[in-house]
Amino acid sequence: MPRVPLSPYPRCNAPLNACMQIGGNESPDEGDLSVCYECGAFLTFDAFLQLRLLSAFEIAALSPRNLMGMTKIRMLITGA
């Protein structure tokens, strides 16, 4: 499992020091998308591999495939 610098998730403060890529085992790059495993927030990695929340504008600009995939992951995490 790829390791990233220890940091809290920006919305719920859950600790993060590793990540998992669906269908792969590569480290994340700047701009890669993520979903918080605790609260289901939509996130992206910055240049320092720190996570930040996606803005409403960025979420609206996601491809339908990415939005659907992230929404399904969020539903699995939150049960909603």
Q: What are the pLDDT digits (tens) for 53-65?
A: 999 999 999 999 9
Q: Is 23 left (phi over 0), alpha (psi -120 to 50) or beta?
A: left
Confidence of residue 8 (pLDDT cuts 50, 70, 90): confident
45 vs 26: CA distance, rounded Å: 14
pTM of the model: 0.84
Taking domain 3-78, whether its CATH number is 2.20.28.160 is answered by: yes
Domain boundaries, the chain: 3-78
Q: Can you give the pLDDT at residue 28?
A: 86
Tokens of 13: 């403060």
Q: Please, which residues have CB within 8 angstroms of residue 77's CB and are 6 or more apart in sequence?
A: 35, 36, 37, 38, 39, 40
